[in-house]
Amino acid sequence: MFFKYTRDFEKPIEAIEKRIEELKLSSASGHDVRREEIEKLEQKAKRLIKDIYSSLTPWQITLVARHPSRPYTLDYVQEIFEDFVELHGDRLFKDDPAIVGGLARLDGRPVVVIGQQKGRNTKERCRRNYGMPHPEGYRKALRLMELAGRFNMPLVTLIDTPGAAPDIEAEERGQAEAIARNLLFMSRLEVPIVSAVIGEGGSGGALAIGVADRVMMFEYSIYSVISPEGCAAILWKDGTKADLAAKALRMSAFDLMRLGVIDRIVGEPLGGAHRDPKTAAMNLKSAILDSINELSAVPSGELLQQRYDKFRRMGVFNEPRR
Amino acid sequence: MIWFKKSLFSKKEDSTVRIPHGLWVKCNHCSEIIYKKEVERNLDVCPKCDYHFYISAWERVGIVLDEGSFKEHDGDLEPVDALEFKDLKRYKDRLRAAHREKSAPRALDAIVSGEGLINGQRVMIAVFEFSFMGGSMGSVVGEKITRIIERGLDKRCPVIIFTSSGGARMQEGILSLMQMAKTSAAIARLKEAGIPYITVLTDPTTGGVTASFAMLGDIIIAEPRALIGFAGPRVIQETIRQKLPEGFQRAEYLLEHGMIDMIVDRKMMKTTLARLISLLAG
């Protein structure tokens, strides 16, 4: 973990943990006095992290959701599934590395898994286009969803994208059509679908793999119609007002739960998923398993009706009684 | 040779021409100054260059449907500030201002929907009102579109949607985004039932509207030169920091790239829709 402390609010934690490291190194021989001091500091660090993370602002949550050390789709796939076989290409244009997917086993049971993938270093980030898929990425996802339907495998999608790629190539190859088609297809796919926002749920580019029977979010993830920067640039006419936009947009897991848009919040280890990726993965796994087991008991016709009703209800408006 | 060009070919700037207010209009495309009545007689299309001016949802209904056949549905659905959203202005105040706007008659949100006849054939129709908060899609727009589709399904009646929208409405946050899933799910049912669904994309159609029901038509029509895309040109320009190619994201560009079926002039819209519906329903 090279970038464990990149955010301002992590600095106090860094100071204490550095001190603990130092003490541990100097007391390799093991003096009792030192051990007590270390334990005391560790308690203090724990309290500090708890304090900081229990009062994060929406903008700070955004920064955790985008933390460069945060586990990405393939990290979770490795921890949660067995026998993962990655499949490539949309059979139309090319393979988009910003979306990964394939076959795998979840607790022994074959499933299809799809997710946006960000890169860890500069080279990877460019190759994965910062997790911003092109139309061919969504069309690859569609192909894998069809596979799930044909072979009756539950579908698990992991959402982590700033949004669909906004560039000339994406437009000329039909970004909008690719996203729209996925929304349409997912609403009628006759297998259980579980989606989890693991980091950033960026607008239509996220929803394009997120029309699911159960939608869950990690505690420090975000899901929004527009990025706080984009929103600030348009409504505040000032991109630096992103912190205000993050608050106004209500994009945290708790806000979405309250608005009835998601079904479950998956808890993160103390200080965020990046501080303990294994625990985060285990929490996510048990949440996904719960949902799939529950959904597998529902006959497919009923499943589709419930999925339709779930999204049908979304929205708030006023209708005067006649 | 700069002096030579200047002295012989410099034109008077447009801004120096005084135009009596309301009598003449300047075309947004060819910059011709045209007598307003002439433009109106031409269904708000520039007689010089065929530029399609903005028209309101109600004017559109008048052009497309048989006279007197339109019956509005869900006209009383009102937007709600569920997020208590506030940027420089409060969403509530923006809504209030939009409701006072004279250019959007009888529209409580950015869409007018209902049913009517096209050359005697019954259709369900929804038309975006761009002057209402940029035609943005929030809960009311999503709900009215979904209801129109469900009515089409119920009565086995073709559905037509005229789009004109900047995309999802930011002030309703994630609820706006979810309208994309809601409307698309309804269209999936319409398609399974084999009921014709036609979309007409007018200037401009972008964002979440394009990336859901707009691009899902059995037949997708566009008005000439309409801007159609997922990301807006400004966002793309800022992302790639390059000049965008001429005609990028215009209807003609989409036709060339295989994204739409045809470009239809406003004057031919009704005839074309009537023919398509009769072919599909026949």
- Residue B12 pLDDT > 50, yes or no? no
A174-213 tens-digit pLDDT: 999 999 999 999 999 999 999 999 999 999 999 999 999 9
Question: In this structure, what token pair is assigned to residue B91?
Answer: 């969403």
Angle, helices A277-296/A73-80, rounded to nearest 10 degrees = 70
pLDDT of residue A75: 98
Let me know if residue B277 belongs to a domain. Answer: yes
Backbone angles phi, psi at A121, to 5 degrees: -120, 175
Q: For residue A282, which phi and psi values (nearest 5 degrees)?
A: -65, -40
Task: Give the mutation candidate from B86, B139, B150, B175 for the A interface (greatest A CB count, under 10 A).
Answer: B175
What confidence tens digit (pLDDT) does each residue in A69-84 have?
999 999 999 999 999 9
Taking CB atoms and an 8 Å limit, are B230 and A171 in contact across chains? yes
Average pLDDT for A111-132: 97
For residues A29 and A13, membership in a common domain is answered with yes
Residues facing residue B125 across a β-bridge: B114, B160
CA distance B112 to A110: 47
pLDDT of residue A321: 77
pLDDT at A21: 87
Do A31 and A156 fall within a single domain?
A: no
CA distance linking residue A314 with residue B177, whole number of Å? 10
Same domain for A16 and A155? no
Give per-residue pLDDT as tens, B165-219: 999 999 999 999 999 999 999 999 999 999 999 999 999 999 999 999 999 999 9
Q: Judge whether A125 and A155 are in contact, CB under 8 Å.
A: no
Minimum Cα–Cα distance from B245: chain A residue: A168
Contact A315 B240 (CB under 8 A): no
Q: Do B29 and B151 have their domain in common?
A: no
Task: Work out the pLDDT band at A31, boundaries 50, 70, 90.
Answer: low
- The answer to whether residue B276 sits within a structural domain is yes
Report chain B residues whose CB lies below 8 A from the CB of A138: none
Contact A317 B146 (CB under 8 A): no
The answer to whether A92 and A141 have CB atoms below 8 angstroms apart is no
- A39-43, A110-114, B55-59: which range is least confident on average? A39-43
Rounded to whole angstroms, the Cα distance separating A271 from A14 reads 12
- The verdict on a CB contact (< 8 Å) between B179 and A317 is no
Q: Where are the alpha helices (DSSP H) in chain A?
A: 11-26, 32-54, 58-65, 73-80, 122-127, 135-150, 168-172, 175-188, 203-207, 228-231, 242-249, 253-258, 277-296, 300-312
Instruction: Using CA coordinates, name the residue in chain B closest to A260.
Output: B175
Which tens digits make up the pLDDT trace of A214-224?
A: 999 999 999 99
Q: Please tell me whether residues A133 and A256 are part of one structural domain.
A: yes
**pTM exceeds 0.90 for this model:** yes
Per the structure, the complete domain to which residue A139 belongs is given by: 62-312
Predicted confidence at residue A1, as pLDDT, reads 44
Closest-CA residue of B relative to A237 is B88
Neighbours of A130 (CB within 10 A): 16
- The pLDDT, as a whole number, for residue A36 is 83
For residue B243, what is the nearest residue in chain A, using CA coordinates? A168
> How far apart (Å, rounded) are the C-alpha atoms in residues B104 and B124?
21
- Per the structure, the count of domains in chain A is 2
* Residue B89, pLDDT score: 94
If phi > 0 it is left, if psi is from -120 to 50 it is alpha, else beta; for residue A121 that is beta
- B77 CB neighbours in chain A (<8 A) are 317-319
ipTM exceeding 0.90?
yes
pLDDT of the residue at B20: 59
Q: Is B264 an interface residue toward A (CB < 8 Å)?
A: no
Position A38 scores a pLDDT of 87
Task: Find the closest chain B residue to A247 by CA distance.
Answer: B85
Residue B259, domain extent: 54-281
Q: Are residues B34 and B113 in the same domain?
A: no
Indicate whether A112 belongs to any domain: yes
Is residue B28 domain-shared with residue B96, that is, in the same domain? no
Q: Which residues pair with B221 in a beta bridge?
A: B200, B262
Nearest residue to A66 via CA among A245, A273, A226, A225: A273
Alpha-carbon distance values, A249 to A70, A252, B96, B154, B170 (Å): 23, 9, 20, 36, 8
Structure tokens at B271: 């005839």
A91 and A219 inside one domain: yes
Same domain, A43 and A170: no
Output the domain CATH number for residue A138: 3.90.226.10
Is there a contact between A182 and A208 (Cβ–Cβ < 8 Å)?
yes
Q: How confident is the model at residue B13 (pLDDT cuts 50, 70, 90)?
A: very low
Q: How many pairs of residues across A and B have Cβ atoms under 8 Å apart?
A: 199
Q: How far apart are CA B244 and CA A171, in angstroms?
A: 12
B 182-211 residues with CB below 8 A of A?
A: 182, 184-189, 191-192, 207-208, 210-211
Band of pLDDT at residue B101, cut at 50, 70 and 90: confident
Q: Which of B138, B162, B160 is nearest to B149 (CA)?
A: B160
The verdict on a CB contact (< 8 Å) between A171 and B245 is no
pLDDT, one tens digit per residue, over A284-314 is: 999 999 999 999 999 999 999 999 999 999 9
Residues of A in contact with B149 (CB under 8 A): none
Is residue B10 pLDDT above 50, yes or no? no
CA–CA min distance A35, chain B (Å)? 49
